[in-house]
Amino acid sequence: KAGYPDGVFQINDLNILSWDKIGEGNGVEIHSITRMRNVFIKNFGGHGLFISADVGNHASNASNSKIDYIQVAECGKDGIHIRGGDANAISFYDCDVRDCGGVGINDDSFLGCKFFNPMVHECKGGAYRAMNGNNRTEFFGAYMEGGQGDSEIGGVTHVYGGICGPGSQWVARSPWCKIDQE
C-alpha cells in the first residue's frame, strides 16, 4: 500500500524483488518525506534503498522520514544509501541488511541520521559508513557480523552499544567521533 495521508508518502507491507540482477537500478528510491514500514527489498543491481534529497538543487526534501522494519538483501551496491543536503534526521528502526556488494548502511547525508538496532551481515564494502565531515549520524545498538571489514565513521558520528563480530570493528576517521561499546 502506498499513499499520501497528511502529505507524507507511505509504503507499508511490501516485497520488492528483482528476479535478475540486471543493470544498476535501485530497489526503492525516495526523494520526499516518507514513512516506510515492513518492506523487503532483494536482488537489485544498484542500491537496495536509495534516499536522496536536496531542496536547492532538486527541489526535494526527505528529512524527518521514518523507516521501520525493512530488510535489504543481495543488492549490487549499498544496501541502504542516504545522501544530500536535505536527507537528514531520518530515523531507521530495526533495519536488516545482508549480502550486498557495497556498504550495508552508508549515510552520506549532510547532517546525519539515526539508526536504532540496525543489523548488517556479509556486505563486501563493510557494515556501516558515515564519513561526511558535517555528519552527526548516531548508531544505537548496531550489530555487525564478523569478517566484513571495518565500519568507517567521520564528522561527529557517535556509536552507542552494539556488537562487532570477529574481524569487524568501528574506525573513527575524525577526532570528534565517539565510539562507546562498553
Q: Residue 1 and residue 25: Cα distance in Å, rounded?
A: 22
Quick: pLDDT tens for 87-131: 999 999 999 999 999 999 999 999 999 999 999 999 999 999 999
Quick: pLDDT tens for 161-173: 999 999 899 999 9
Classified as helix, coil or strand, 2 is strand
**Angle CA 127–154–140, to nearest 5:** 55
pLDDT at 10: 87
* 63: amino acid identity, one letter: S
Would the pTM of this model clear 0.75, i.e. be above it? yes
Q: Determine the average pLDDT of the residues in 67-95.
A: 97
**First and final CA of the chain: distance in angstroms?**
41
pLDDT at 56: 83
The candidate with the shortest Cα–Cα distance to 39, out of 47, 28, 50, is: 28
Q: Is the pLDDT of residue 1 over 50?
A: no
Quick: pLDDT tens for 4-57: 556 688 889 999 999 888 788 999 999 999 999 999 999 999 999 999 999 887
Q: Is the pLDDT of residue 135 over 70?
A: yes
Sheet strands (E) in 18-166: 28-30, 34-42, 49-52, 66-73, 80-84, 91-93, 96-98, 105-109, 114-116, 119-121, 128-130, 138-140, 143-144, 151-153, 158-160, 163-164
Q: Residue 146 and residue 171: Cα distance in Å, rounded?
A: 15
